[in-house]
Structure 1
């Protein structure tokens, strides 16, 4: 099951993102079925779209254990979500961890499929962000990707780091570790210090 770094990252990312989906369900006071649905679509959403775009077999159809794990994790959160005092705080930090994991996992899966560097980076960003988007939309939350802090850019930084080191012939362990750390640190710093990209500001148009 854990034969490759990509598989390991997939599993960790699925579990972490499933927890974030279930935590949103707890904030909305859903029943256990709601937990299962929100947790599962969050855990496998990004990877599903990645595999469909790459024309590869969807990972959880080949390994149904992913689905069972999502259900088990969602059920566990249903009974334990009351324990942390600030569920939203945990949600944000777990989401940052899942983002970094999936940015690298998605890029590595795409790289193994034989695509170019640009597409591999794009697949990393898609894998890292789509599950969270689905979670927030279904949970009636403001999508984290639209927050003022850096979000998708953190996934982009992690994916670029991984692909650049891999393309340069660096060891896989180095590329995976560096990509993960860059993505996590950028997102963590944005949460801690409120980093944000410049935003559009309205200004007078030019007369014709």
Structure 2
């Protein structure tokens, strides 16, 4: 039995492990958002799932591929377990305000790696790799916020998508120097998380676009 387990683990690609972890982290943010709107468990599951797979779905459609979650039911299970995780631990989690920030930031970094790696394997140009990494990371959150009737984060002054762009750029640069994927992933995720932390810690914001005066 143990041999079969180890063989299964060996067959899982490193990027798939990253994708599973990112799915879990983002699904939790969707479930938590549903809780703030007093949704039922099914509604929370749907919102968690959409948040987790929204970015990757949009990425795959742009790349002309079958959306990844349609090829493996593990993403549904990831969302289901994230729902159970929140239901049973919500009282403890809600007391840890930093938990959701860190899980969301790590999820961003994880999905930047997943999106960038997929575009790179398909042979796209550097700028497409960076864009696909960013879309994978932020688009699920956009859908979540729209469904919750909120202004998406990337349309506010909060620095949210910018760290993903920088992380994607570093992903490409490190690939040029032929570092292995685990090292590149760790650096990319670290950069995204660090930039998010710095922006929140020192309240850094992108300048607001001022409108013209009404005539």
User: Taking structure 1 as the reference length, what is the TM-score of the superposition?
Assistant: 0.89
Q: Distance in 1 between matches of 2:96 and 2:32?
A: 7
Structure-2 residue corresponding to 1:104: 113
Alignment of 1:27-176 (within 5 A): 27-86=36-95, 90-176=99-185
Structure-1 residue corresponding to 2:4: none
* Bigger mean CA offset, 86-95 vs 42-51: 86-95
> Is contact 1:25–1:139 with CA below 8 Å preserved after alignment?
yes
Q: Please report the RMSD computed on the Cα atoms of aligned residues, expressed in angstroms.
A: 2.0
* Bigger mean CA offset, 181-190 vs 170-179: 170-179
Q: How many pairs does the alignment contain?
A: 204
Structure-2 residue corresponding to 1:192: 201
> Is contact 1:32–1:75 with CA below 8 Å preserved after alignment?
no
Structure-1 residue corresponding to 2:12: 3
> Is contact 2:20–2:78 with CA below 8 Å preserved after alignment?
no
1:14-47 superposed Cα distances (whole Å, 9 cap, x missing partner): 0000000001111111110111111000011111
Q: Distance in 1 between matches of 2:63 and 2:200?
A: 32
C-alpha spacing 1:100/1:54, structure 2 compared with 1 (3 Å): same
Secondary structure of the 2:19 match is helix
> Is contact 1:40–1:74 with CA below 8 Å preserved after alignment?
no
Unaligned runs of 5+ in 2: 1-8
Give the Å deviation of 1:72: 2.7
User: Taking structure 2 as the reference length, what is the TM-score of the superposition?
Assistant: 0.86
Secondary structure of the 2:141 match is helix
Give the Å deviation of 1:149: 2.3
Give the Å deviation of 1:203: 7.5
